[in-house]
Amino acid sequence: MKPYVPQYVGTVTKYVFVDSPDTTPQDIATAAYEIAQGVMIKETCFGCQITGSPEDVDRIIAHLRKMDPYRIYVKDRGFPPGDARRCRADLGGARPGYLGHEYEMGMIRYIAHGLEETDKMTKKELKAAAAKELPMPDALDVDILTSLIKEE
């Protein structure tokens, strides 16, 4: 095995996702570049990735969040951009790991709506809204289950 010398030690990488009718990924990347001050920014189809010291990254993210507070979402990333173990330039084909993002982005409009509504709520209203139960999905109908078993 070859000795491993890690890159970008002490930095953090964060994904910035946007799903908004008013703000595009390009707007996000441009706004991030404007105040980058040496921080590495990678524009992507969903927003951007920011790599730098924790303070710098937090500063940029705080600025970006103001653009569209309910529709910009941030998440940590373990690997820095271009890491040979993850980068498609080295591996070829689609990068594994975006399936989870794709799944969650499908319901992000509900979260955006929830954030907007809960921001307007008083403490009492928030408590009442939080106490509501999320209904469980309907159980599989017995007749459908029986027909599935018979098909087998």
Partner 1 sequence: MAKVFIYPATSLILSDLVARFGHEPLGSAIAIREHVQTPGFDSPPIQMTSDDPQKGLKWAAVEVPSGIRGRMSLYGPMVEEAEAAIIIDEPELAFGCMGCARTNELLCFMLRERDIPRLELRYPTSKDEGVTFVAAIKEFLVNLEVKKHE
Chain residues binding partner 1 by CB under 8 A are 1-6, 8-13, 15, 17, 73-80, 83-85, 91, 97, 99-101, 103-105, 107-115, 117-118, 121, 126-127, 129-130, 132-137
Q: Give, rounded to a whole angstrom, the gap between the first and last alpha carbons of the chain.
A: 49
55 vs 143, which CB is nearer to partner 1?
55
Q: Which of residues 103 and 144 has its CB atom nearest to partner 1 in the complex?
A: 103
User: Please, what is the minimum distance in Å from the beta carbon of residue 74 to partner 1?
Assistant: 5
d(CA 109, CA 112): 5
Residue 60 is given by DSSP the state H
Per the listing, tokens 């993002």 go with: 101
Shortest spacing between CB 150 and partner 1, in angstroms:
26
- Pairing of β 72-77 and β 47-52: unpaired
Cβ neighbours for 25, distance < 8 A, ≥ 6 positions apart? 18, 43, 44, 45, 46, 47, 48
Nearest-approach distance from CB 57 to partner 1, in angstroms: 12
CA max distance for the chain: 65
Least distance CB 46 / partner 1 (angstroms): 10
**From CA 144, how far away is CA 75, in angstroms rounded?**
40
Report, in Å, the least distance between residue 140 CB and partner 1: 14
